[in-house]
Chains A and B, each alone.
Chain A
């Protein structure tokens, strides 16, 4: 599979500088006002918590998605959101998936800082000495977020030196993923814990996780069940496996070369975001007067590797690759047959081969995901999969960040009307659910915590785009059965 060495430089949703969203004197839509209230309420002075109860610290990909919406409320806060996250970057380039707020009691979230012990256990990997973080990562949405935040107010960004400040950190982050996480040797970044791809409890991990001996149930105490309904959250057995994997990584000093990585998976969503962020990094580099081609070439190489290693023509989508499973073919490991929404996210890559993009567009509305036919919002997992559950964490519910990414991918590959329809459904579900963490993909009924920051942020972003388009048609209310 070949792709052009220099990717087509298309941006599906260019954010022109300060958007004339409406005439001065004209009231903002109520949804904008309530979304802003959520983001102001969840701001901590330097970053935004995903929600005050369940997630009282700073999360890596949450902050990136939050910044994408926060730029419409305050470009300055959006810049600070990313700057504070990048301020916790490790010496080896990794951006930790959680940066802990030291003012929050240890018992408020598990695994807590005394589990990760980053400042001591992670010293060899360059963990910050004065901050406590987790030791694993989340998907690399950050360069994309930084570029979009810059575009919201290029003058303020230039005045503060925002791009110049974040650029070397973003480069180091991508270098970490390329150099230390290519565990399969095929040009993709592997995840070493089910929390790393962000879709923590996806059925895609059931197989690779089954090989992991769970940590003893009495060796840890979950905090997530205090705030979330147990039926919606991961099982205790799976939680024991999460704990085992994280503890082993920690006990190897978070050094990727030293750790055994019994869980090692190439995830299409993670790598699609990596490719999209390389494209964004090319734009950032260019804006700073640098040479962008190296990033475009990396993006193209990532796209090639995605297609070569994770594309399944039979499934009509990308699948994750379990690097620790015995494989029959020449490529290390084996494709995991479970269908996750992550397998549709390579639509974010602009240089995807047209046949692949076309097949993905069909799969999005086909029987397994049913977007626009049987469901309102893209489910996180195969509607026909045995493990599908419309309410359980990442095993079926629709998430707003995934739907926002898909909306962008649809637009990028010429499905503008479908993107408009999806944007309408996202906005409606965000409003009706009071910015739920996730929703039932059929009904849009809210699940998980409410006033969830990225839900509010991404609604704000879609609202701003709609206002600029003056206005995109508001879909008529659906007649749901």
Chain B
């Protein structure tokens, strides 16, 4: 059931075509792109179109910017919204499924000094809902989906658990906004990750994978069998996109290659082609 994708920066090769050659040989089904700011992602369109024409599957893009749609600063918020809309348009043009973003990253943590965010709860919610609505409407118009990613408490202070994302998405009321889950953040935030997946099942639009230590799946102590079993039982049909760091002692290419067979084994399935 699961298809896998690998984020582009993890793949060896100078071009997407070279990266795809490696990824396909390693058993991946697609490449997850990274979308930088300043409309850099849009500027890549000629190269992306060429890659698409050469048969490189690019189902999703994950934001890679210094600020995000729920930033404290109004101008940064406006810029992040403009960047995300552009990224949604580009991924739509490439025939992809959507773009993933957290509410913020590295801006504030309630677990670190000064502990209390400069913005009140009410204002935060208003910022989140208006941003998600604006991006969701744009995504709908483009025929793609915005994936809201809950991050762990040290990286974001607004949306940490799947149920929080689901609640916001329910309030927004757009099918074009879904949850983008990430196994690493879930391991920190969810009391029972498989149960959290089932509870959020109808809202899950995308899934990123890395282990308990942010390294590639298999390098940490997550209960992958249960996590993947829950995702399968939830009826998830999207990709498992590898977003991680690689264990330092391993050859990076070997670490990336290890993931599709590992995920296949943990989901109780044989690697493609290995059959029964």
Enumerate chain A interface residues (CB-CB to B < 8 A): 18-28, 32-34, 36-37, 40-41, 43, 45, 72-77, 153, 464, 470
Within 8 A of A (CB), among B215-242: 223, 225-226, 229-230, 232-233, 235
What are 6 contact pairs spanning A and B, CB under 8 A?
A21-B268, A24-B2, A26-B269, A28-B268, A36-B229, A43-B194
B267 touches A24 (CB 8 A): yes
CB distance from B121 to the nearest CB of A (A): 29
Check: B265 CB closer than 8 A to any chain A CB: yes
B171 at the interface (CB under 8 A from A): no
Residue of A18, A21, A34 ringed by the most chain B CB atoms within 10 A = A18
* Minimal Cβ-Cβ distance residue in B for A27: B1
Residue among B191, B260, B272 making CB contact with A23, cutoff 8 Å = B272
Which residues of B223-276 have CB atoms within 8 Å of chain A's CB atoms? 223, 225-226, 229-230, 232-233, 235, 260, 263-265, 267-276
Apart from A25-B3, A75-B225, 14 more pairs, CB < 8 Å: A18-B265, A20-B275, A21-B268, A23-B269, A27-B1, A28-B1, A28-B232, A40-B194, A40-B230, A40-B233, A43-B195, A73-B229, A74-B223, A74-B226
Query: Does A77 lie within 8 Å of B1, measured CB to CB?
Result: no
Contact A19/B233 with A43-B194, A73-B226, A76-B226 known, Cβ cut-off 8 Å: no
- Report whether B233 and A77 are in contact in the complex, using a CB–CB cutoff of 8 Å: no
Closest chain A CB from B101 CB (angstroms): 28
Determine which residue in B3, B232, B269 has the highest number of CB atoms from chain A within 10 A of its CB, and name it.
B269
Could you tell me if A24 and B272 are in contact, using CB atoms closer than 8 angstroms?
A: yes
B192 interfacial contact with A, CB 8 Å: yes
Judge whether A24 and B264 touch: CB under 8 Å.
yes
Within the complex, the shortest CB–CB distance from A287 to chain B, in Å, comes to: 21
Q: Is B94 an interface residue (CB 8 A)?
A: no
Chain B contacts of A18 at CB under 8 A? Answer: 265, 268
User: Are the CB atoms of B198 and A41 closer together than 8 Å?
Assistant: yes
CA distance A20 to B265 in the complex (A): 8
Chain A contact residues, majority secondary structure: loop
CA distance A21 to B233 in the complex (A): 16
Interface size, B (range)? 20 to 34
Chain A nearest CB: distance from B187 CB in Å? 13
Chain A's closest residue to B261 (CB) is: A24
Select the residue from B191, B223, B230, B276 with max chain A CB neighbours within 10 A.
B276
Q: Is the CB of B230 within 8 A of A24?
A: no
Q: What residue of chain B has the Cβ atom nearest to residue A77's Cβ?
A: B226
Query: Chain A contacts of B232 at CB under 8 A?
Result: 28, 32-33, 36
Task: Give CA–CA (A22, B270) in the complex, Å.
Answer: 6
**Could you tell me if A76 and B223 are in contact, using CB atoms closer than 8 angstroms?**
yes
Chain B contacts with A in 106-139, Cβ cutoff 8 A: none
- Kindly list chain A residues whose C-beta atoms are within 8 Å of the C-beta of B275: 20, 23
Give the distance in Å from the alpha carbon of A76 to the alpha carbon of B233 in the complex: 18
User: A19 to B272, Cβ gap below 8 A?
Assistant: no
Docked complex Cα distance between A43 and B269 (Å): 23
| Cβ–Cβ < 8 Å partners of A36 in chain B | 229-230, 232-233
Contact B225 A25 (CB under 8 A): no
Q: Return chain B residues, CB-CB under 8 Å to A34.
A: 233
Closest to A71 in B: B225
How far in angstroms is the closest Cβ of chain A from B242?
A: 15
Compute how far the CA of A72 lies from the CA of B3 in the bound complex, rounded to whole angstroms: 21
Q: A75 CA to B223 CA in the complex, in Å?
A: 9
Note all chain B residues with C-beta closer than 8 A to A72.
268
The winner among A23, A40, A74, A153 for most chain B CB atoms within 10 A is A40
Name A33's contact: one of B3, B29, B233, B273 (CB within 8 Å).
Answer: B233
